Amino acid sequence: MQLAHLVITLVWLAAGVLLSSPALAEQRSTEEVKPRAATATEPDPQALDELVGRWQVEARDPATGKIEKIRYEVRRFVGHTWLSGTGQSEDPGFQSKDVWGHDPITKEVIRIVFDGSGTYAIVRSPGWKEGTLVLEGDARSANGIVRVRETIKRVSPDEFHATWESLRDGIWRAYSVERMTRLPPA
């Protein structure tokens, strides 16, 4: 118990030092966070709740036609404000963890995705519109930063279709086309 308390104290201390650094203070004062103009209605905190559950995902690479089967489970995380998902391919190789929620300032849906290769992406959306959620942002890896977009279409409460695209040379190109179907509770 004492070791855990020490670790938490050190983390908060390091965060305090970082946040009080003159360079960061100068950056904060020159780069105010400005909420985007509202493009959708205020987010419904339960709007993402339909993702909670266990899912079977079939992800197809459009370039090769290869299909990867992934188990994906979404649970509530830190109360009802955030959701957390974990993905694992049936064949060894793919692992991911993500967090879903709403940005308290911009009111956008946000999703932060981490995968087993060390890549992470932060994507945002103004929200669901006519059964479609379009999230856009940057993926960062050892190879650099790439603009990405995920378009999720609600087919039914138990099925979603998603397409991940990357922006290369000014053109959006699909790299994963996915079908997500709900599994029965465990």
pLDDT of residue 81: 85
Nearest to 180 by CA among 53, 41, 30, 48: 53
User: What are 115-149's pLDDT values in tens digits?
Assistant: 988 999 999 999 999 999 999 999 999 999 999 99
SS3 string, 138-181, reads EEEECCEEEEEEEEEEEEECCEEEEEEEEEECCEEEEEEEEEEE
Residue 16: in which H helix or E strand, if any?
helix 2-19
Residue 100 contacts residue 113 (beta carbons within 8 Å): no
User: What are 13-60's pLDDT values in tens digits?
Assistant: 333 333 333 333 333 333 443 444 444 445 555 678 899 999 999 999
In this model, does residue 186 exceed pLDDT 50? yes
Q: Cite the beta strand spans of 30-170 per DSSP E.
A: 53-60, 67-77, 82-89, 95-102, 109-115, 120-125, 132-141, 144-156, 159-168
Q: Is the pTM of this model over 0.85?
A: no
CA distance 150 to 125: 10
Angstrom distances, CA of residue 129 to CA of 33, 47, 108, 149: 25, 11, 13, 16
Residue 182 contacts residue 53 (beta carbons within 8 Å): yes
